[in-house]
Chains A and B, each alone.
Chain A
């Protein structure tokens, strides 16, 4: 039984819970990385309700934080390009492989662009995925210009009649302005070939409050259209993604739940919010 249910069971029938119960509730909500401000707001509202209404109230407020934008991948009739971006170690390359699997299973032809020309063996890593999934991977020279690789990938995609081109990029901290500029350039260069219909920011579910700063800065550089929230199979609940939805109105489009290509699903608000409260 989730902590919230236990809490409710304790206060059922009474108008106030003991201060100890509220402390427990606060603890769990904070543990989800919702941040002290939102948690304070949740508690304030919950205290005004009684019993079951408190659960509903908290769930309602959490739902209100979500973006109302579509969680579908933008569709075009022509070929479209998806950029996958994020800070180091969040699971971009694995997510690209998962996304490719997901799109292929929907009958779409996919081409991958190995535009992480910086990290040792990053291109090899994506190529290994390409081999496993039987999907073409376009790469360039080591330490080469990622924009050039992205451009080539889009061109190849067009030649091969692909519906989607997924561009894997190097992990970069949002505090590195030259790397953020580089990302902007990658997008601009690719757009000469085909429209970039999605810029997906990959966020690790274990990330704390810094996740919001990441999303803000990446958005300024390349207009992020959606999030991929990864590593939700761990003990982290990914509450910071909710803050991104609220503050920046960027919808979570997919979640990653493991290291295999199948460990991937479209975002489901109900189970996510239940997870925050469990």
Chain B
């Protein structure tokens, strides 16, 4: 498991594992490496120092009770993971609703953090919960920010209050105030006020933000911050907290591979809960914030759960449903279905590359290599060279047909034979599963969802799990056939 951490973290833990009983010096050395690893993950220095101080203390308490190096390394890892999760999620809470509607939410943050996109996501989130949100276009600075909000508002079916065109025209405070009054008059239950991006060091604009706040008295001011922000996170968060103040934090652009140490810094220094996570440009790329996933990410384990969700989205959901329906109806799994599944897997933007984007992926190279996407391409070529009849009924595949297919796909006849054998085995398996009763585990998942064996789950790992046996656990028979070779 430790190989999957970023190389810095894994280095720290590897050193521990090879030892017998750990001396205090060993622990100190490991914790020092952990501190550097946190800095590489963009955690602020003071926060990293504090945190590693606590890790050292707790490690010293826990370790005397353990014997072997591996257990001790695991124990320290658990301490680190726990501390991170505690800081990130310790003050977690839901949105505070107003006693008398509307509940007013104000967004604030630096330029480019993703406030406007977030506003629409929040609106949809609340709308889906049965609320009646109103969006207020109070960013009158950025060219066409008002338009942007109108477009995204329309896309989620939420009205946008935009009395001023923006682009430098209009008073954001007045607009915000009028927006809330409008919401009250129309009985909206939630008002989401989008504001212009502003620097923490810009006194004038911070004063403006305070004026907006005072005029509308929001229940929640959400500080919207880009997950890729570096050491400036602390200065900026502090400036916003001292200025307009904020009640909660939203992290955006978590679909990137930034480690996101800033989240730790902000949570640690301001004590405010990180409430939501924005994970892409689409309105649906929005979720509540999961502290354990973030802890995992900071440690370099990558955010496997979010990655899996993205992979799921990239895959055509309809295709999976069709397959499921077919299965349930007792129809045969054909080569066309097989091809569809393969194309879906290829569509996921090259699984190997996707996996490779996870920090610490170097260590997962073995699993990535097992997932041979060029094999998908080759298989596709063969299936595409088959006629519809041949795909439906493998029995017609005589020698001359196989030779033709091989020629057409640029492969050897032995490759065609291998595919036919694999597919026949997959078909058999499908039949067995169906006759065995009920859908097999994971059948509802799109193919490729069962991640390569041995990949860590985002929750704090309990034990260092040994790599699973080669047998594929994919719910997708095509993938299983490929993996089991």
Interface residues of A (CB under 8 A from B): 26-27, 30-33, 35-36, 87-91, 93, 118-122, 124-125, 128-129, 173-178, 204-211, 213, 231, 233-237, 239-240, 259
Report 17 cross-chain contacts, Cβ distance below 8 Å, ordered by A residue.
A35-B40, A88-B281, A120-B155, A121-B144, A121-B150, A122-B148, A173-B256, A175-B256, A206-B233, A207-B230, A208-B230, A208-B262, A209-B40, A210-B258, A210-B259, A234-B232, A240-B230
Would you give the shortest CB distance from B307 to chain A, in whole angstroms? Answer: 10
Q: Roughly how many angstroms separate A89 CA and B252 CA in the complex, as a whole number? A: 11
Would you give the shortest CB distance from A91 to chain B, in whole angstroms? Answer: 6
Q: Roughly how many angstroms separate A207 CA and B112 CA in the complex, as a whole number? A: 12
Would you give the shortest CB distance from A237 to chain B, in whole angstroms? Answer: 8
Complex A-B, nearest 6 residue pairs according to Cβ-Cβ distance, in ascending order: A208-B230, A89-B112, A208-B42, A236-B232, A210-B258, A120-B151
Q: Known: A31-B45, A128-B167, A175-B357. Contact between A208 and B258, CB under 8 A? A: yes
Report whether A206 and B232 are in contact in the complex, using a CB–CB cutoff of 8 Å: yes
Name the A residues within 8 Å of B201 (CB-CB).
233-235
Report whether B257 and A210 are in contact in the complex, using a CB–CB cutoff of 8 Å: yes
Name the A residues within 8 Å of B235 (CB-CB).
31, 235-236
How many chain-B residues does the 8 Å CB contact rule pick out? Answer: 51
Q: Roughly how many angstroms separate A124 CA and B41 CA in the complex, as a whole number? A: 37
Which residues of chain B from 210 to 269 have any CB-CB distance to chain A below 8 Å in the complex?
226, 228-233, 235-236, 239, 253, 255-259, 261-262
Grouping DSSP codes into helix (H, G, I), strand (E, B) and loop, the B interface class, with mixed when no group exceeds half, is loop
Report whether B253 and A89 are in contact in the complex, using a CB–CB cutoff of 8 Å: yes
B477 close to chain A: CB less than 8 A = no
Would you give the shortest CB distance from A34 to chain B, in whole angstroms? Answer: 9
Name the A residues within 8 Å of B261 (CB-CB).
208
Indicate which residue in A91, A177, A237 contacts B353 across the interface (CB closer than 8 Å).
A177
Indicate which residue in A30, A118, A173 contacts B231 across the interface (CB closer than 8 Å).
A30
Q: Which residue of A lies closest to B358 (CB)?
A: A175
Q: Which residue of A lies closest to B155 (CB)?
A: A120
Name the B residues within 8 Å of A119 (CB-CB).
148, 281
Report whether A91 and B112 are in contact in the complex, using a CB–CB cutoff of 8 Å: yes
B111 close to chain A: CB less than 8 A = yes
Q: Roughly how many angstroms separate A175 CA and B359 CA in the complex, as a whole number? A: 11
Q: Which residue of A lies closest to B357 (CB)?
A: A175
Q: Roughly how many angstroms separate A128 CA and B147 CA in the complex, as a whole number? A: 11
List 17 additional contacts besides A176-B255, A210-B230; criterion CB under 8 Å.
A31-B231, A91-B112, A125-B147, A128-B144, A174-B257, A175-B256, A177-B354, A208-B231, A208-B262, A209-B259, A210-B42, A210-B256, A231-B110, A235-B201, A236-B232, A236-B236, A239-B230
Indicate which residue in B45, B150, B253, B349 contacts A30 across the interface (CB closer than 8 Å).
B45
Report whether A36 and B40 are in contact in the complex, using a CB–CB cutoff of 8 Å: yes
Report whether A89 and B232 are in contact in the complex, using a CB–CB cutoff of 8 Å: no
